[in-house]
Structure 1
Amino acid sequence: MLWENWQKETAPKALDSTATSTKNDISNINAPIIPTINKQAVIQQDAKKADGALVDGAQINVTTDLVHAVIDADGGDIRSLSILHYQDPVDVKRHLHIFEQTSNHTYVAQSGLVGTNLPNHKSIFSFAANNYALAENQNKLVVPMSWVDEETGIQVTKEYIFYRDSYKIDLTYHLTNTGKLSIPLQAYFQLLRDGKIPDGESKMVHTFTGPAIYTEASKFTKLDFHKMDKGDQTYPKTANDGWVAMVQHHFVSAWLPNNGAKREFYAEALGNGLYRAGVILPEGELKPGSSTSFTVPLYAGPQIQKTLTALAPGLDYVVDYGWLTPISGPIFWALQKIHGVVGNWGWSIVILTMFIKLMFFPLSAKSYQSMAQMRGLAPKLQRLKETFGDDRQKLHQAMMDLYKTEKVNPLGGCLPVVVQIPVFISLYWALLGSVEMRQAPFIGWIHDLSAPDPFYVLPIIMGLTMILQTRLNPTPPDPMQAKVMMIMPVAFSIFFFFFPAGLVLYWVVNNILSISQQWFITRKHEAAQAGNAKR
C-alpha cells in the first residue's frame, strides 16, 4: 500500500497542453487521426472546433431496461451513459455514469470515417427524433442518424443498436455512393477520457484506471497515463485481432471489432489532462453506385466475468488480479458456486474463508505448534537477556544454542504462513475486483460490501482480533519488536476503516478462525508439556 501510494505521489505530473503541441493538431481532441495504414488519408478540418473542446449539438436521449444514453449530433458521440442498476458512489440518489461530459469529468465514446469528405467525430449528424425508449415488447432499439455530402454523393447512416438485458451496443455504418468516384474506407473507434480516478474510489485501495489493449500475440496490455504523458508507453500497434478499452474499478468500456481484419491501435495524451485510445479498421472501397455496411460492438458496463468472456477473447482480463490471476480466478469461481447456494455474497465470503482455512489447517497447525514452543521458551529467553545484558553477540549465540538444545526452529512459525500468503492475497484481489460485491448487502448495517463499513464495526472487531492474536503469540525478546507488535493492531484498524466491507469481513473471519486454531493448538501443547513435567 505504501509503495503504490508513493508511486502515485511521485509520478510525473500531466504535461501541459503546450508541451504536447509538437504533435501539431494531433494533440487536439478534434484533430485528425492520420493512421499508418494509409498516411494519405486526412479527416476534414473544422476551424471553429480547433480549441480542443467538445462541442455540444442537438441530443438524443435513449432509455433501455439497463441504461440511459445521450448521443450528441456533433460527431454522433455517446456523451453520457448511466447504468440504471448501479448507484453513484458519492450521490446514491444518482445513477452511476460510465460515459459523462461535465465541467469536472470527460469520458465519451467516439467514432468516424477517415478520409476527405467523410463524416468523423466532428461532423454534424441529423436525426428524426430526440427521444427513444425500449418498449416492453421490444428486444432491441435502433437509433439512426444521417449525414450527406451532396458534392461527392456520399450518404452515411450511423446507427446505434441497443439490446434488452445487455450492456452491448452495436454501432453500424451504412454507406451509399451516388457519386462518380471510388472512396477508400477506413473507420476509427476511440474512447476519450481524462486521467482522474472515478469518484468515490478509496485512495487506500489501489485499482487500475486507464486504457488497455488486447491482442492474441501480446495479450492484455495496460497503458499508464503518466507514461502516455511522456510518450514512452509501449503497446501493440497492429494486429489481425484484438480490442481497445478504458478500464476503471468494476466497470469497463471497450470497442470490440471482429477478429480477422488488419487493424491499427493508437493511444496518446492530448494535453489538458485528456487521453484517447482507439482502433482503426480498413473497410474496403466504396465504388460508385454501390452500398456497404459494417458493425463494431461497444460494451459499456460492469465487469461481470461470464458476460465479458462471452463477448470477446480476453475481455475478462479487465477484471485484473495481476500476477495472481491463476489463483484468484478459481477462488472467485468457488465464491460464485457458494453464492449460488446461499444467495448472499457476505455469507459466501465467510464460508469460502472457512473452507480455505480448513484446507490449510495442517500447515497452520505446524506454524502454531512452533509458536507454542517459542512461547514456552519465553522465560528462558528472558533469563538469557538478563544474563548477557547489552552484549548482543553473546546473547544471539546463547539463543541459538538454546534453540538447538530444545530442538526448536525459530522460523518454524513463519514458513507455513509464507506458503499460505499467495492464496490469501489472491482472495483479497478476487474480492476487491469483483463487481458482484458492489451494492451487495450482508447483514444489518452493511448494505454494500464494496463500500467501507459506515459505522466501522468490522474494522474495530478486526483490531480486537489482532490484539488477541498478538497476546497468543510469543513475546519478542527485543523491546522494539514488542512495541511494534502492540501498535500494529491499532494501525491496521485505522487502515481498514477505509477498506471495502467485504475485504474487512474476510480479514475478520480469517482472524477469528486463526485465533481459534492457535488457542486450541497452544492449549494442547501446554497440556502435553505439563504432562511431561509431571513424569
Structure 2
Amino acid sequence: MDNRRLILLVIFSMSLVMLWDAWLKHNQPKPVAGPSVTQSATPTPTASGQVAAPAAAPNGATTAERAKAPKLTVETDTVRAQISALGGDLVRLELLKHGANNDRTKPFVLFEEGGAHSYIAQSGLIGAGLPNHKTVFALPSADKLVLKDGEQALSVRLEAPEQNGVKVAKVLTFHRGSHVIDVAYEIANGGNAAVAGHSYYQLTRDTKAAENTAGFFGGAQTYTGPAFYTDAEKYKKVDFKTIGKGEAKLPKTAPDGWVAMVQHYFVSAYAPKQGQREFFARPLDGDLVAAGLIQPLPQIAAGQKATVSVPLYAGPQEQRELSDLAPGLDLVVDYGWLTVIAAPIFWGLSWLHKLVGNWGWAIILLTVLIKLAFFPLSAASYKSMAKMKTVMPRMKRIQEQYKDDRMKMNQEMMELYKKEKVNPMGGCWPMLIQMPVFIALYWVLLGAVEMRQAPWLGWITDLSIKDPYFILPIIMGVTSLVQMKLSPSSPDPVQQKVMMFMPIFFTVMMAWFPSGLVLYWVVNNMLSIGQQWYITRMFDSGAKPANS
C-alpha cells in the first residue's frame, strides 16, 4: 500500500468513526420530559444495620407543596442560590461567572425545579425524630442574603422543628470565589436518650441530556448522568438507563469517595472529607433519578451536641478547583480514551494562557511548540516526499510498462525504492503520529470548561463551538490544497482526483468542529507549508536541508 492510500485510509477511518459516534448520540431517542420533582427518595435503615438504597416515598413532596414552600435567595460573587424551606434543598443555582448557552448576558442555571430541567441538591438525617428533606425548616427572616464586601463566607441557618428534645439546624455555608457549599447539621440532644442515625446527601435530576452547546460534534458526545469514585474502584459512570433497569453496579461501602451528577462542562458532587459512606442510585417517579451517599452519625448522648458536615461542589468543571476538593474529582472532565495525551495538552495550554491571557493565542503557541517537537520527523517526511517527487517519472514508466503484470510492477517498484533509498511510507508517519494529538486536542476543546465562551479574535467569540462564518474552515481548506500541490502527485489518476477532493471534504467536515480545533489545524498547515517548501526547495537545488 503506498503512502497515498494509507493517508486516505487514516483520514476516512478517523472521519467515519467520529461521524458515526456523533450520529448515534445526536439521534438517540430523547427521554420524555418529566414533571418537576414530585417525589423523592428517603434512605431507610435495614434490619442488618446497614442503610438500604432509597426507595420512592409515597409521602414525598408534591409539586404544589414544593411550589408553596417559602424560599430564601443567597448571592455571592460566584453564585445566586435559592434555598427551599422544604428540606432546606438547593432548588436553584445560577453561576454568575458563566453565561447561559443561548444568552451570555444571563447566568447559567445549574440547579432548577420545573424549568428546562428538574435538578436539585438534597440532604437529610435518618433516625427517630430527625429531619429529612421532607421536613419544613424555618428560614431566616430576610428574603435575600448577600455576601458583603470583605466577607469570605456566608452561612445560612435553617431550624427544624424540635422533636423529643432534639434540636437540629441545617447550616449552608457559601464561600467567596468558590463553588463549594458546606452542608452541615448541628444536632443538640436535649432529650433523655442517646441519638443515633445516619445522614444522607443526594442529587436528584431528570434523565434528559444537557443541552448541546457545540453543534453536531459538540455536547451530543458528552456524558450526562451520575458518577461515583472510590480509591478502590476508581471512577465509574453509571448511566440513567442502567439505573432505570435496576442494573446499576455501584461502589460498595468505602472509607473514601464521592458521588457526582455530571453534564457537559458542569458538575455537582458531594465529597465527604472522612468517614465510611455507602453509595446509592435509584429511579424515581417523573423520569427522575437520585444518586447519593449515606454516612453514619456519631452517637450523641443525652445533653451532648454534634456537628456533621459534607462539602457540595456545584459549578464548572474547573480542574484545579475539583482536584483540590477531592481525589479523582477532576476525572469528571472527560477527555475520552486519549486522556494520557489530552491531560498534558491541557496543562500546556493552561500554562501558555497564563503567559498570553487568551486561549486562542495559547492554541497558536501550542501548535508551534508541537510542530517544533515533531520537526525532525516532519523534516524526514518532507525529504522522503521530495525524493518521491524526483522518481515519480520513473515510477510512471514502470507502471505503464508492467500494467498487465502487477507482480512484476511491484517488484520493479521495490527495486527502484531500494536503489534510490526512497521510503514510500516516509510521508505518512508525521500524520499518523500527530493524529492522536489532533484527537486529544479535540477532546480538550470539547471538554474543558475554560474553553467555553472563550474568545480569540474578532468574529471568534467562543473557541468551543464552530466558526459562525466558516472563515477558519475555508482557510484550512485552502492551505490543505496548497499542501496537496506541494506534495508529489500519485501516478494513479483516480487517486489524483480523490486527493484533490480531500481539501473540500476536510473543509466541509471541519466547518462543524470547535473553532479552536480548526485554528490549530490552520496554523499547523501554514507551518507545514513553510517547512515543506523550504525542504523541497533545498532538495531541488542540491543543497543539504537542515536536520538531514
CA separation of 1:479 and 1:175: change in aligned 2, threshold 3 A: farther
Give 1:93 shift: 2.7
Q: Residues 41 and 284 of structure 2 are in contact (CA less than 8 Å); yes or no, is this contact kept in structure 1?
A: no
Partner of 1:5 in structure 2?
Answer: 22
Supply the distance in 2 between the matched residues of 1:382 and 1:473 (Cα, whole angstroms). Answer: 16
Q: Which moved more, 1:463-472 or 1:5-14?
A: 5-14
Partner of 2:373 in structure 1?
Answer: 359
Q: Residues 169 and 187 of structure 2 are in contact (CA less than 8 Å); yes or no, is this contact kept in structure 1?
A: yes
Supply the distance in 1 between the matched residues of 2:204 and 2:501 (Cα, whole angstroms). Answer: 46
CA separation of 1:384 and 1:395: change in aligned 2, threshold 3 A: same
Q: Where in structure 2 are the equivalents of 1:259-338 lying within 5 Å?
A: 259=274, 261-270=275-284, 272-338=286-352
Q: Residues 12 and 226 of structure 1 are in contact (CA less than 8 Å); yes or no, is this contact kept in structure 2?
A: no
- Is residue 148 from structure 1 mapped to residue 161 from structure 2 by the alignment? yes
User: Which of 432, 441, 445 is equivalent to 2:455?
Assistant: 441
CA separation of 1:355 and 1:42: change in aligned 2, threshold 3 A: closer
Partner of 2:237 in structure 1?
Answer: 222
CA separation of 1:52 and 1:285: change in aligned 2, threshold 3 A: farther
Partner of 2:9 in structure 1?
Answer: none
CA separation of 1:15 and 1:336: change in aligned 2, threshold 3 A: closer
Residue type of the partner of 1:168?
A: V
- What is the CA deviation profile of residues 299-331 of structure 1, one whole-angstrom value per residue up to 9, with x for unaligned ones? 112222222222222222222324433333333
Supply the distance in 1 between the matched residues of 2:398 and 2:246 (Cα, whole angstroms). Answer: 61
Partner of 2:6 in structure 1?
Answer: none
Q: Residues 30 and 208 of structure 2 are in contact (CA less than 8 Å); yes or no, is this contact kept in structure 1?
A: no
Partner of 1:210 in structure 2?
Answer: 225
Q: Which moved more, 1:480-489 or 1:246-255?
A: 480-489
Residue type of the partner of 2:468?
A: P
Supply the distance in 1 between the matched residues of 2:32 and 2:211 (Cα, whole angstroms). Answer: 22
User: Which of 259, 272, 291 is equivalent to 1:244?
Assistant: 259
Q: Residues 189 and 301 of structure 2 are in contact (CA less than 8 Å); yes or no, is this contact kept in structure 1?
A: yes
Q: Which moved more, 1:107-116 or 1:477-486?
A: 477-486
Q: Which moved more, 1:133-142 or 1:444-453?
A: 444-453
Residue type of the partner of 1:58?
A: P
Give 1:367 shift: 1.5
Partner of 2:4 in structure 1?
Answer: none
Partner of 1:194 in structure 2?
Answer: 206
Q: TM-score, normalised by structure 1?
A: 0.88
Residue type of the partner of 1:138?
A: E
Q: Which moved more, 1:137-146 or 1:284-293?
A: 284-293
Q: Residues 374 and 408 of structure 1 are in contact (CA less than 8 Å); yes or no, is this contact kept in structure 2?
A: yes
Q: Residues 237 and 266 of structure 1 are in contact (CA less than 8 Å); yes or no, is this contact kept in structure 2?
A: no
Q: Residues 41 and 116 of structure 1 are in contact (CA less than 8 Å); yes or no, is this contact kept in structure 2?
A: no
Q: Which moved more, 1:33-42 or 1:199-208?
A: 33-42
Supply the distance in 2 between the matched residues of 1:16 and 1:10 (Cα, whole angstroms). Answer: 17
Partner of 1:131 in structure 2?
Answer: 144
CA separation of 1:13 and 1:102: change in aligned 2, threshold 3 A: closer
Give the number of aligned pairs: 519
Q: Residues 54 and 280 of structure 2 are in contact (CA less than 8 Å); yes or no, is this contact kept in structure 1?
A: no
Q: Residues 99 and 107 of structure 1 are in contact (CA less than 8 Å); yes or no, is this contact kept in structure 2?
A: yes
- Is residue 33 from structure 1 mapped to residue 43 from structure 2 by the alignment? yes
**What is the SS of the residue equivalent to 2:41?**
coil
Give 1:47 shift: 4.3
Give 1:212 shift: 1.7
**What is the SS of the residue equivalent to 1:488?**
helix
Residue type of the partner of 2:87?
A: G
CA separation of 1:304 and 1:42: change in aligned 2, threshold 3 A: closer
- Is residue 49 from structure 1 mapped to residue 63 from structure 2 by the alignment? no
Residue type of the partner of 2:251?
A: P
Supply the distance in 2 between the matched residues of 1:172 and 1:491 (Cα, whole angstroms). Answer: 57
User: Which of 386, 389, 405 is equivalent to 1:372?
Assistant: 386
Residue type of the partner of 1:353?
A: T
- Is residue 117 from structure 1 mapped to residue 129 from structure 2 by the alignment? yes
Give 1:359 shift: 1.4
Give 1:424 shift: 3.8
Q: Where in structure 2 are the equivalents of 1:31-180 lying within 5 Å?
A: 31-34=41-44, 38-39=49-50, 47=58, 49=60, 55-56=66-67, 57-129=69-141, 130-150=143-163, 152-180=164-192
CA separation of 1:43 and 1:517: change in aligned 2, threshold 3 A: closer
Supply the distance in 1 between the matched residues of 2:94 and 2:267 (Cα, whole angstroms). Answer: 13
Supply the distance in 2 between the matched residues of 1:52 and 1:383 (Cα, whole angstroms). Answer: 81
**What is the SS of the residue equivalent to 1:288?**
coil
Q: Residues 374 and 430 of structure 2 are in contact (CA less than 8 Å); yes or no, is this contact kept in structure 1?
A: no
Give 1:200 shift: 4.1
Residue type of the partner of 2:257?
A: G
CA separation of 1:42 and 1:374: change in aligned 2, threshold 3 A: closer
Give 1:171 shift: 0.8
Q: TM-score, normalised by structure 2?
A: 0.86
- What is the CA deviation profile of residues 178-220 of structure 1, one whole-angstrom value per residue up to 9, with x for unaligned ones? 3334332211111122233322423313223222212122222
Q: Which moved more, 1:365-374 or 1:36-45?
A: 36-45
Partner of 1:522 in structure 2?
Answer: 536
CA separation of 1:285 and 1:303: change in aligned 2, threshold 3 A: same
Q: Residues 166 and 190 of structure 2 are in contact (CA less than 8 Å); yes or no, is this contact kept in structure 1?
A: yes
Q: Which moved more, 1:125-134 or 1:262-271?
A: 262-271
**What is the SS of the residue equivalent to 2:66?**
coil
Partner of 1:24 in structure 2?
Answer: none
Partner of 1:20 in structure 2?
Answer: none
**What is the SS of the residue equivalent to 2:112?**
strand
CA separation of 1:2 and 1:441: change in aligned 2, threshold 3 A: closer
Supply the distance in 2 between the matched residues of 1:476 and 1:177 (Cα, whole angstroms). Answer: 85
Give 1:389 shift: 4.3
Q: Residues 154 and 174 of structure 2 are in contact (CA less than 8 Å); yes or no, is this contact kept in structure 1?
A: yes
**What is the SS of the residue equivalent to 2:98?**
strand
Q: Which moved more, 1:237-246 or 1:430-439?
A: 430-439
Give 1:417 shift: 3.4
CA separation of 1:41 and 1:467: change in aligned 2, threshold 3 A: closer
CA separation of 1:376 and 1:32: change in aligned 2, threshold 3 A: same
Give 1:470 shift: 2.3
Give 1:469 shift: 2.1
CA separation of 1:14 and 1:433: change in aligned 2, threshold 3 A: closer
Supply the distance in 1 between the matched residues of 2:344 and 2:320 (Cα, whole angstroms). Answer: 13
Partner of 1:533 in structure 2?
Answer: none
